Structure 1
Amino acid sequence: MGIVSEEWNDPLNWDINEIPGTYSDITIPASPEGSYFPVINSESSIDCNNLTIEQGSLLQLKGFLTVLGELNNADESSLVILSDASGTGSLIFNSENISGSIQRYLSDGENHFIGASTNGAIVNDLYFNNNPAVYMYSYSEISGDWVSITDLNTPLDLGIGYSVFVSDSENKQNVTATFSGTINMNDLTIPSSALSYSEESPYPGYNLISNPFTSSMSWDLGNWQGENISGSVWLWNGSYNYLFRNAQGMGNLANGIIPVSQAFFVRTISNNATLTLSADDRVHSNQNFYKTSERENEAYIALKVQNQNKTDEVWVTFCDGCTEGEDIGWDTEKLYGNSNAPQLFIRNNAREISIEALPPLGYNTRTLQLDFIAGVNGAHSIALAEIEHGPIIGEIEVFIIDKIEESEQILSLENPIYYFEASTDDPSDRFELKIWEGPNGINDADYQNDYLIYANKNTVRIKPLQASSYKNITVQIFDLSGRIIKEVRNASGNEMTIPLDK
């Protein structure tokens, strides 16, 4: 091994002259033939059977490694998971009492939500002799505040989340923290003290926990077990807003992926909450993912607001068993990001919601209050990011109503974006979201047999041709951008004359 280079995927580095595979048993010796210790690079995803790392040898992971059999290593210095600006390596294994060193890259001038990746970590693991300065905080559910941690000997318990801010006032200085010790491969039960619920809190039930594994975990896989938990998670995106996901695989946290050593919020809904994070939810974040079966079977839409490179999203779903109130595992409350970023959410009475679950439409129209807060003045857009019909047999149409511009526009996959100018002084209740379910695609030929429709100058005329055509109808007229410019209901069933503005 290590005959010509450190590259794992070079067959010339192996004594069998080929790259080991899924069923291979591998030993990394203390004195490789060519003096090179292997590195699994970031573009690599490796599976093997048994892996032994001898005393004095070294394996470094930039990419992804799954050990299907037994993993044995001499000490924490012989197994290193690397981290840099491009990402962090990933290890999935099932052997007890394995030690290693796990890095976490921290960029300057940004808040990082992190958790320890090994047992025995302390605050001093994130101290760089004050060069640069590092500010570390825990989150108090009771007060809703961030609490500064100054004692370098404070333990960083596995599964608990923290906020870290790196600051060099003179020069931008990124750093890499290293956690060394025993690494976890078992289910982890979050202690009850970290899952509090305080009615007097300004944000009742929000607790910051973290991924305790040496790989990403997928919230969508759903093997975690909890009681008195809302079922949603919130991750800080690193710069300006929260990503969110519910227990049904909906939300803008792609595939429900929670990276290595990433902290995230969960919400308890009462006292005596419990939560166990499952080792069966471990994944390498480069593997293929698909919609969960629950998500495929439900109707939903997702809207995305954007200003320059800053975005926020809101989701609405219609499901059997969902109610007008809070539906555990479905509804997801809004967490606000930075004040200079756009914020979008559904307002349902006093509740501010990022994912709103409602009863099935049932061939009706539903109008929701869509609140929007601009972070800066200027050009914005709201786009139909996703739409899924699920079990709905008919058509779904989505309309955005702008009360400031007094306009209404249909959003579709063919015409998905509404553009507008916004000010930080605009009222938050500027928009309404109208969702309509109707019969599935009526053939144009049916209209041609029932109605004569023609335009004369600035007037549209609709004349019934059959006795059966004399019935209540609603006519909507759109411009080329998809905006509704006229909506008229004909209760009499007689010929309609619709004047249009010049």
Structure 2
Amino acid sequence: MKKTLLTIIVLLTMVQLNAQVTVALGSVYEVVAGTKVYIPVTVTGLDAANSGTPITAAEFHIFFNNQNVEYDTTANISALTPPAEWIYGASATQYGSTWVDDNLNAISFPDGTVLFEVVFDYKGGETILDLDSSRCYLVDANFSYIPVAQVIDGIITPAAGSDQSVWTGEGDWNTSANWSNGVPGINTIAVIESGNTEINSGSNCKSLLVNAGASVHVMPGFSLSVSEGITSNGGFFIESDASGTGSVISNGAVTGTGTFSTEQYVDFSSSHSHLVCSPLPSATGVVFSGLNPEKYTESSAAFESLGESDVIPNASGVRVTSDSPSTMVFSGAFNSAGVTLSNLPFSDLNEMEHKGLNLIGNPFTSALFADLPLWTKSGVGNGVYVWDGYKFKCWNGITGNLTDGLIPAMQGFFVRTDNANASLDIPAASRIHSNAPFYKSSKDNLLNHLVLRFEKKDDPDHFDEAFIHVKEGSVINYSSESDVIKLTGNPDFPQIWTLSSDNTSLAVNTQPDFETSIPVSFKVKGAGKYQLSVSGIESLGSETPLYLEDKQDASTIWNLRLSPVIEFNFGEGASTGNRYVLHFNVIGINELEKDYFKVYLSNGSIHIEAEQQKRIEQVELVSLTGQLLGMYENLTTPSVIRLEKCSGGIAILRIRTVEGIYIKKLLTAN
């Protein structure tokens, strides 16, 4: 109930105030694995005595990496807010808490007040606690949303540890009794003298030596960071299964006379093909035996078979195909240094979509941040593509639908060259531990950034996305520095893209300003109802209009600020071309003044009145998700419309007359 109340308050009253508010997470340093960590949530700017704004309600969300920490409880709630007024809890990777004063009184919090502490069980490794600024809600006495001027994330760092510690025995890496001088930290030389140890957390050491007969197993979903290097004369195993893959980052050489084994599990159930990459400096096609390995040839824009004896260069992408899950095993010391790719090809193909595409891969045993704008390269654009089972996910270093710009360990991906003999350095410094899944099937809070999602109404699990980012210094025509060309996914599912001024089809379209209107194109296979959802509108600034125009129907213009979800009826095989255009200015149909009609709710009905009798051509009532709740035609004022399909909540009323369109938001009751 409190959650519902807070959501309604926020939706109804997005009012800008001048209060400067900060919400901060605490940080804890040099923590020993296996201990509890208390993270305070502190607020400033809510103190009435210091020109702050008292609040009646609050909501917070914190993302955390469950490799490093596990949520335990919420403790030490401020005496200003009785514990019974709070609702809190966590999933595997996200914490949430909501508070509403029982009497809806505004409470003044002195600057520096700790509202509560989040308690985590610390497993090891350095980790960031990410306070979600987009869902940090504070509500004042007038039930108005208070903008938060600053959010501060927290961090937990591991203990430095002893100079050296020696392992004997069997069990978990964090079993202190098995270490001669405590669980290793970032300054510890770790020696596995005998026995076997499993890493089931985010673990660290300065260097690692595995003696003959001993072994280390990095378990699926967990990680090891080594600052100086790994020498294994025994066994070093990185394991993988359906839950994830172990992650290892070594900043020094990986050497030794023992066994190195790196696994990569791939689930082929949702897609018969995946793009992968060997983590070894050199391999042959036999490592993919039984999976029909193929390489991609840029000049023909086609895949070709790889033989078992064919050499696979370092950081080359490979397509593998199967009907059932498979675990690949790469035997040998894995990459720990950056990889340089030279002489990447470029062919001047007639069609833009496949021109310059090169299939490479993440050659590391950890995730890779695809920050191509900062990588050393020549003749290579900033866009990357990862196959997602039925579509391509993309990223340009700033935006896209590749989660946080991370390429999972041993994942193949496409880049695009602009000219022949291009080169690219894949830096070891871009490695990062991540529990992101292997892509088969969040970026910063950007200004002037839109996400367009297109899906079939009866199949929301298969959707496509396009991105628009207005960024100073970019250009209106296609540029490989900021734009990403559209790669068509599985044609059985919906496709969306936008067009640059030089008519290039784009998945990411970056524009220098709001002066240029942008065509939006749709393509579908089956006939039926489809839905376009536009998010990020609040990032444009309230002064920027946003309309979608149907060029084939002069009377059809959608104000996306009022209704960001649009339904279409498309026939089989429909492809819209340049029919729909996105505008950042007011166009076409006249939008009527707020006092043109008097609209109100009474006894479950909508009443529409005017000072003089008006003829109404059409009335539409739609939900915020775009669902049509009712449509009525050929009315005159005064009119009364009985609500029948409305289940309560905020709805959009659109009234069409010969003079123009009248639009109003209504809060309907159950």
Please give the range of the TM-score, normalised by the shorter of the 2 chains: 0.7 to 0.9
> Is 2:308 aligned against 1:152?
yes
Is this contact kept in 2: 1:104–1:176, CA < 8 A?
yes
Matches within 5 A, 1:328-367: 328-348=480-500, 350-361=503-514, 366-367=516-517
Corresponding residue of 2:261 = 101
TM-score by length of 2: 0.59
Corresponding residue of 1:178 = 329
Where does the alignment leave 5 or more consecutive residues of structure 1 unmatched? 128-132, 168-172, 439-446, 463-476, 489-496
Deviation digits for residues 279-337 of structure 1 (CA, Å, limit 9, x no counterpart): 111101249xx746xx74x5221111123211211111112222221223211100011
Corresponding residue of 2:294 = 137
Q: 1:86 to 1:398 in 2, by over 3 A?
A: farther
> Is 2:186 aligned against 1:22?
yes
SS of the equivalent of 2:473 reads coil
2:391 paired residue among 231, 241, 266 = 241
Is this contact kept in 2: 1:459–1:498, CA < 8 A?
no
The residue identity in structure 2 corresponding to 1:410 is N
Whole-angstrom distance in 2 between the partners of 1:139 and 1:416: 40
> Is 2:6 aligned against 1:6?
no
Whole-angstrom distance in 2 between the partners of 1:19 and 1:387: 49
Matches within 5 A, 1:11-90: 11-16=176-181, 19-29=183-193, 31-32=194-195, 37-41=196-200, 44-62=201-219, 63-74=222-233, 78-90=235-247
Corresponding residue of 2:469 = 317
Whole-angstrom distance in 1 between the partners of 2:564 and 2:661: 28
Matches within 5 A, 1:261-276: 261-276=410-425
Whole-angstrom distance in 2 between the partners of 1:19 and 1:165: 42
SS of the equivalent of 2:228 reads coil
Deviation at 1:201, TM superposition (A): 6.1
Deviation at 1:69, TM superposition (A): 3.1
Deviation at 1:108, TM superposition (A): 3.6
Deviation at 1:182, TM superposition (A): 2.7
Deviation digits for residues 326-381 of structure 1 (CA, Å, limit 9, x no counterpart): 223211100011111211001345411111111212xx5x5322111124333432
418-427 or 328-337: which moved more? Answer: 418-427
Whole-angstrom distance in 2 between the partners of 1:395 and 1:433: 20
Is this contact kept in 1: 2:205–2:225, CA < 8 A?
yes
> Is 2:530 aligned against 1:380?
yes
The residue identity in structure 1 corresponding to 2:173 is W
Deviation at 1:71, TM superposition (A): 2.4
Corresponding residue of 2:521 = 371
Is this contact kept in 2: 1:119–1:181, CA < 8 A?
no
2:274 paired residue among 106, 112, 121 = 112
Is this contact kept in 2: 1:404–1:430, CA < 8 A?
no
The residue identity in structure 2 corresponding to 1:146 is F
Whole-angstrom distance in 2 between the partners of 1:396 and 1:161: 43
1:301 paired residue among 437, 450, 465 = 450
Corresponding residue of 2:92 = none
Is this contact kept in 2: 1:371–1:430, CA < 8 A?
yes
Is this contact kept in 1: 2:372–2:396, CA < 8 A?
no
Is this contact kept in 1: 2:597–2:608, CA < 8 A?
no
Is this contact kept in 2: 1:124–1:153, CA < 8 A?
yes
> Is 2:327 aligned against 1:165?
no
Deviation at 1:137, TM superposition (A): 0.8
Q: 1:108 to 1:291 in 2, by over 3 A?
A: closer
The residue identity in structure 1 corresponding to 2:279 is S
2:369 paired residue among 218, 229, 232 = 218
Q: 1:221 to 1:120 in 2, by over 3 A?
A: closer
Q: 1:423 to 1:60 in 2, by over 3 A?
A: farther
Q: 1:479 to 1:209 in 2, by over 3 A?
A: same
Deviation at 1:487, TM superposition (A): 8.9
Whole-angstrom distance in 2 between the partners of 1:181 and 1:189: 20
Whole-angstrom distance in 1 between the partners of 2:414 and 2:211: 39
Whole-angstrom distance in 1 between the partners of 2:410 and 2:404: 17
Whole-angstrom distance in 1 between the partners of 2:249 and 2:175: 22
Deviation at 1:206, TM superposition (A): 0.5
Deviation at 1:398, TM superposition (A): 3.1
Is this contact kept in 2: 1:228–1:268, CA < 8 A?
yes
SS of the equivalent of 1:143 reads coil
Corresponding residue of 2:248 = 91
The residue identity in structure 1 corresponding to 2:390 is Y
Is this contact kept in 1: 2:393–2:402, CA < 8 A?
yes
The residue identity in structure 2 corresponding to 1:236 is W
The residue identity in structure 1 corresponding to 2:228 is G
262-271 or 323-332: which moved more? Answer: 323-332
Whole-angstrom distance in 2 between the partners of 1:354 and 1:184: 32
107-116 or 398-407: which moved more? Answer: 398-407
Is this contact kept in 2: 1:116–1:157, CA < 8 A?
no
The residue identity in structure 2 corresponding to 1:24 is T
Deviation at 1:460, TM superposition (A): 5.6
Is this contact kept in 1: 2:203–2:224, CA < 8 A?
yes
Corresponding residue of 1:441 = none
SS of the equivalent of 1:182 reads coil
Is this contact kept in 2: 1:141–1:204, CA < 8 A?
yes
337-346 or 347-356: which moved more? Answer: 347-356
Is this contact kept in 1: 2:654–2:662, CA < 8 A?
no
87-96 or 199-208: which moved more? Answer: 199-208
Deviation at 1:175, TM superposition (A): 1.6
> Is 2:355 aligned against 1:204?
yes
Corresponding residue of 1:395 = 543
SS of the equivalent of 1:60 reads strand
Q: 1:101 to 1:286 in 2, by over 3 A?
A: same
Number of residue pairs matched? Answer: 432
> Is 2:282 aligned against 1:123?
no
Whole-angstrom distance in 2 between the partners of 1:156 and 1:339: 31
Deviation digits for residues 142-172 of structure 1 (CA, Å, limit 9, x no counterpart): 01111112x21111211111111013xxxxx
Deviation at 1:395, TM superposition (A): 2.8
Corresponding residue of 1:258 = 407
Is this contact kept in 2: 1:218–1:282, CA < 8 A?
yes
Deviation at 1:386, TM superposition (A): 3.1
Q: 1:125 to 1:201 in 2, by over 3 A?
A: farther
Is this contact kept in 2: 1:460–1:498, CA < 8 A?
no
Where does the alignment leave 5 or more consecutive residues of structure 2 unmatched? 1-165, 437-441, 587-592, 600-606, 613-618, 624-651, 664-670
TM-score by length of 1: 0.77
Whole-angstrom distance in 1 between the partners of 2:430 and 2:538: 26
Whole-angstrom distance in 2 between the partners of 1:113 and 1:122: 16
